[in-house]
Chains A and B, each alone.
Chain A
């Protein structure tokens, strides 16, 4: 019989307000095996933890039940506490009487009754707990960063700085991400390329960093400290070791009508291309969809002009396998498609553009060499209307329910820069709210309004109608003066909502990392562990976790790097001891468990057994590799003979909980 101590936490008033903690600790005192029961304001505090330690020693406790917050919150804390008092850490069970009880039930009697039942279930379980010892597994001292935008770059640089090898996998031919397309950055108006490209070069030159550009992750196996990742290096038909990036091929290629994705299709590139002058790695890539040689075997100009002999039309996709200790997701974002927002005439008029297209129009390396010209006729626009929240904060189902966070600031930046460069331009901004939390952000927005005379109008644009004379009729309501407005605009810029990159969802499935309903990665704890995924060894960097501006992205990227470094510094990791275990005497060697194990943790071997009649027999039995088993329990249910059980969540333990609840 266990000697069990029960500790009921008040959690200040979080639990005590709707659960009579005194009554709970009193009621649980009479449960079989309970020799000590008490309650205290904050069990997780030092005083509370000492109370547990003292009680373990004084009452010679063998098991501990803590009625408190979710085990996802403090199970690890209390395991450490009891370990400090000499008890096995797995002799603790938590009854979740906060999230599952006090916070959802307003009636004190209901809450108290439920808390007592939850406490009883935990006591029933702890009776059957056995001391468990955690094994160890080695850590591969190499990290993988998926995504080569500013988030991935910063994470990789920080990890490399600490002395660990790190690989970046980027689907595009160059690293740099969205920031390469941006002209200036708020609130300081630095040129984006001037602050980003040196970091890209650092990545290329750092011997600890290896960049897999034009590549993607196709499979992830393993677990924290020991992932095996398959990376597909897409054929770029150019030998990257030979290509010098001279660019002659990109000038001589006869296929000139390929929409240039770097300029969002506003000009054309060749079939062989280098995305932009500062690309890293600076090597050419052939676009197989457009290349005449690859499509019908007739051309070969690039091969003829390449003095380095780098062109290789026979190149194939290549899949390589690498092992990593930690993986960082940094897959970034995209502006949403505007198909659902036909009222803004985005598909009908060339002069209705997105904010990212506006960035390219004002960028010196863009399609107009930095001249702000209308895409339709190349004339300078005199009236520009910016529309905010296109698809953001939209609960109608057409857009996204969340705030994209960056649009208010970049629109202020666009408006300000337009007025500075072209003072004869009238600039209108339609907004629902202007949100500028951030260091020097509100000051920046006020400068746009006060110093640059940008017309900010609270209200939404209802319709944009192209007129025959080439102007756009912007119909909107001014909510403050309660007037309907018609503005004749030359250019309309839509601040499209941002959404996670499409590659994030399949990646999350491969990593078994969870996502929210908007396809942003979920963090392990919204406040306390914001850069870790709930899946051990997987970390989050940048906008794949939620909308962020550049300063926030960079700080989160460095935070993720710090967590990765903390992991890679360890030589060995403590394994989860709650793993499957096979009772050899019951196992009949049927292989049912082996088939359902996702980790290949179960192996079979022939073993000699002494039978009751003193003869020996050789039987085929299952054995679990505890370092590989992750403790899902699939095998325990598949096992027809009941030989397989899960430590910490055994059949008997769960049955005991069921009994306690149904009593």
Chain B
């Protein structure tokens, strides 16, 4: 199936930890750094709050890409949360890869509260990558599809 890249607007879910990445996203906004509207942010207290189920759910419901952002390793507000998140996501992403969800559709990125520019750049790049991959149909739950 040929996907028209110009018309295709991916759905991207971004999980951002409250202390670093969500603040980084706020800073991107404050500095008026543009990134595509396809990215929708969900605030979680810590990257370790992101249950792999949430990511599977997003893909089932038609997300084309999921990105998880947290504090830089060593800087977690809760000391160790992002280490757990990193391990969990490594396992999950390799499983998703096995299931046929391309590696490029999932990503973990560390963005500090001071890195508004990094947040915007990461999102621009991620959306571009996912747009090239096209629509995600592999895990989509057709029962959730609106007629």
For residue B76, CB closer than 8 A to chain A, the reply is yes
Q: Decide if B40 touches A121 in the complex (CB within 8 Å).
A: yes
Q: Decide if A514 touches B20 in the complex (CB within 8 Å).
A: yes
For residue A267, CB closer than 8 A to chain B, the reply is no
Q: Decide if A632 touches B29 in the complex (CB within 8 Å).
A: no
Once A121-B42, A654-B42 are accepted as A-B contacts, the answer to whether A637 and B84 lie under 8 Å apart by CB is yes
Q: Which of A43-51, A102-110, A335-343 contacts B (4 or more CB under 8 A)?
A: A102-110
With beta carbons under 8 angstroms apart, the residue of B54, B62, B115, B120 that contacts A517 is B115
For residue B44, CB closer than 8 A to chain A, the reply is yes
Give the interface of A toward B (CB within 8 A). 70-72, 96, 98-101, 103-106, 110-111, 113-114, 117-118, 121, 508-509, 512, 514-517, 522, 534-535, 578, 596, 598, 630-634, 636-638, 646, 649, 651, 654-655, 657-659, 661-663
For residue B95, CB closer than 8 A to chain A, the reply is no
Contacts of A655 in B (CB 8 A): 53-54, 57
A117 to B26, CA, bound (A): 18
Interface residues on B, range: 35 or more
Could you list 16 further interchain pairs (A-B, Cβ under 8 angstroms) beyond the known A509-B75, A512-B79, A514-B114?
Answer: A71-B43, A72-B22, A96-B26, A104-B32, A522-B113, A522-B114, A598-B78, A598-B81, A631-B45, A633-B46, A637-B50, A637-B84, A649-B44, A651-B54, A654-B42, A662-B61
A633 to B144, CA, bound (A): 28
Closest-CB distance, B123 to chain A (whole angstroms): 9
With beta carbons under 8 angstroms apart, the residue of B34, B42, B78 that contacts A634 is B78
Once A512-B76, A663-B61 are accepted as A-B contacts, the answer to whether A110 and B11 lie under 8 Å apart by CB is no
Look across to chain A and name the residue whose beta carbon is closest to the beta carbon of B49.
A633
Q: Decide if B75 touches A508 in the complex (CB within 8 Å).
A: yes
* Most chain B CB neighbours (cut-off 10 Å) among A70, A103, A517, A661: A661
Contacts of B129 in A (CB 8 A): none
Once A71-B43, A104-B32, A514-B71 are accepted as A-B contacts, the answer to whether A114 and B37 lie under 8 Å apart by CB is yes
Contacts of A118 in B (CB 8 A): 40
For residue B108, CB closer than 8 A to chain A, the reply is no
In the complex, which residues 50-89 of chain B have their Cβ closer than 8 Å to any Cβ of chain A? Answer: 50-54, 57-58, 61-63, 71, 74-81, 84, 88
Look across to chain A and name the residue whose beta carbon is closest to the beta carbon of B18.
A72
A502 to B35, CA, bound (A): 35
Contacts of A517 in B (CB 8 A): 112, 114-115
With beta carbons under 8 angstroms apart, the residue of B33, B61, B120 that contacts A658 is B61
Closest-CB distance, A494 to chain B (whole angstroms): 28
Contacts of B20 in A (CB 8 A): 514
Q: Decide if A637 touches B57 in the complex (CB within 8 Å).
A: no
Once A516-B112, A634-B81 are accepted as A-B contacts, the answer to whether A658 and B48 lie under 8 Å apart by CB is no
With beta carbons under 8 angstroms apart, the residue of A96, A578, A634, A662 that contacts B48 is A634
Look across to chain B and name the residue whose beta carbon is closest to the beta carbon of A661.
B40
Q: Decide if A104 touches B28 in the complex (CB within 8 Å).
A: yes
A515 to B92, CA, bound (A): 30
A638 to B91, CA, bound (A): 14
For residue B19, CB closer than 8 A to chain A, the reply is yes
Closest-CB distance, B103 to chain A (whole angstroms): 20
* Most chain B CB neighbours (cut-off 10 Å) among A98, A630, A637, A663: A637
A507 to B111, CA, bound (A): 20
Contacts of B30 in A (CB 8 A): 99, 103
Query: 9 A-B contacts, Cβ less than 8 Å apart?
Result: A72-B23, A104-B32, A114-B40, A508-B75, A534-B77, A632-B46, A633-B44, A638-B84, A661-B63
Q: Decide if A634 touches B61 in the complex (CB within 8 Å).
A: no
Once A514-B71, A659-B57 are accepted as A-B contacts, the answer to whether A646 and B49 lie under 8 Å apart by CB is yes
With beta carbons under 8 angstroms apart, the residue of B25, B40, B77, B114 that contacts A535 is B77
For residue B7, CB closer than 8 A to chain A, the reply is no
A655 to B50, CA, bound (A): 11
Contacts of B146 in A (CB 8 A): 663
A105 to B74, CA, bound (A): 33
Contacts of A578 in B (CB 8 A): 45
Closest-CB distance, B82 to chain A (whole angstroms): 10
Q: Decide if B33 touches A104 in the complex (CB within 8 Å).
A: yes
Q: Decide if A515 touches B61 in the complex (CB within 8 Å).
A: no
Closest-CB distance, B27 to chain A (whole angstroms): 8
Closest-CB distance, A243 to chain B (whole angstroms): 39
- What 9 A-B pairs are tightest by C-beta distance, nearest first? A99-B29, A633-B49, A662-B61, A632-B78, A516-B114, A634-B48, A632-B46, A103-B29, A114-B37
Contacts of B133 in A (CB 8 A): none
Contacts of B23 in A (CB 8 A): 72, 514, 534
Contacts of B54 in A (CB 8 A): 651, 654-655, 658
Q: Decide if A636 touches B32 in the complex (CB within 8 Å).
A: no
Closest-CB distance, B90 to chain A (whole angstroms): 14
A517 to B32, CA, bound (A): 20
Look across to chain B and name the residue whose beta carbon is closest to the beta carbon of A221.
B79
Closest-CB distance, A635 to chain B (whole angstroms): 9
For residue B13, CB closer than 8 A to chain A, the reply is yes
Contacts of A509 in B (CB 8 A): 74-75
A52 to B42, CA, bound (A): 24
Closest-CB distance, A575 to chain B (whole angstroms): 14
A514 to B22, CA, bound (A): 13
Q: Decide if A72 touches B114 in the complex (CB within 8 Å).
A: no
Q: Decide if A113 touches B78 in the complex (CB within 8 Å).
A: no
Look across to chain B and name the residue whose beta carbon is closest to the beta carbon of A633.
B49
Closest-CB distance, B13 to chain A (whole angstroms): 6
Closest-CB distance, A632 to chain B (whole angstroms): 4
Closest-CB distance, B71 to chain A (whole angstroms): 7
Q: Decide if B58 touches A110 in the complex (CB within 8 Å).
A: no
Once A103-B30, A114-B37 are accepted as A-B contacts, the answer to whether A634 and B84 lie under 8 Å apart by CB is yes
Q: Decide if A637 touches B75 in the complex (CB within 8 Å).
A: no
Q: Decide if A72 touches B26 in the complex (CB within 8 Å).
A: yes
Closest-CB distance, B122 to chain A (whole angstroms): 13
Q: Decide if B11 touches A598 in the complex (CB within 8 Å).
A: no
Q: Decide if A105 touches B61 in the complex (CB within 8 Å).
A: no
Once A659-B57, A661-B13 are accepted as A-B contacts, the answer to whether A514 and B41 lie under 8 Å apart by CB is no
Contacts of B25 in A (CB 8 A): 99-100
Look across to chain A and name the residue whose beta carbon is closest to the beta carbon of B63.
A662
Contacts of B61 in A (CB 8 A): 658-659, 662-663
Q: Decide if B45 touches A633 in the complex (CB within 8 Å).
A: yes
A662 to B13, CA, bound (A): 8
Closest-CB distance, B31 to chain A (whole angstroms): 9
Contacts of B112 in A (CB 8 A): 514-517, 522
* Most chain B CB neighbours (cut-off 10 Å) among A101, A103, A114, A522: A103
Q: Decide if B45 touches A646 in the complex (CB within 8 Å).
A: yes
Contacts of A657 in B (CB 8 A): 42
A285 to B28, CA, bound (A): 50
A101 to B28, CA, bound (A): 11
Contacts of B78 in A (CB 8 A): 512, 598, 630, 632, 634
Look across to chain A and name the residue whose beta carbon is closest to the beta carbon of B40.
A661
With beta carbons under 8 angstroms apart, the residue of A111, A522, A631, A654 that contacts B37 is A111
Once A104-B33, A659-B61 are accepted as A-B contacts, the answer to whether A117 and B51 lie under 8 Å apart by CB is no
Contacts of B79 in A (CB 8 A): 512, 598
Q: Decide if B33 touches A651 in the complex (CB within 8 Å).
A: no
